[in-house]
Amino acid sequence: MTLEEATIKRILDLCKENNITINKLATISGITQSTLNSIVNAETKTTTTSTIKKICDGLDITIVDFFNTEDFLNLEQELK
């Protein structure tokens, strides 16, 4: 799994856990719906840490909570 795939999966999992839509997450996080849709539709290849922080703030979780999953803990090194 790539970092991008893990990030998308985590966002979708958090929406499911909180019973909210991507659009609702965008609203409560102060992110435009188009930005969040671009992330989850893999149209954006990199997601900034400030965007992840906004998502965390909207969900009232920490950055550590966001990244503390098996998917992130098991990422392999990506060589370009």
* Domain membership flag for residue 22: yes
Q: Which of 14, 61, 27, 17 is nearest to 6 (CA)?
A: 14
Is 77 inside any structural domain?
A: no
pTM (predicted TM-score) = 0.91
Identify the pLDDT of residue 29.
Answer: 97
Q: The CATH number of the domain where 48 resides is what?
A: 1.10.260.40
What is the 8-class DSSP label of residue 42?
A: T
Structurally, the chain folds into a number of domains equal to 1
Residues in the chain: 80
Q: Per-residue pLDDT tens for 18-48?
A: 999 999 999 999 999 999 999 999 998 889 9
- For the chain, helix, strand, coil in percent to 5 are 65, 0, 35
23-56 exposure pattern, b = at least 16 Cβ within 10 A, e = fewer: eebbebbebeeebbeebbeeebeebeeebbebbb
Q: Say what the pLDDT of residue 80 is.
A: 61
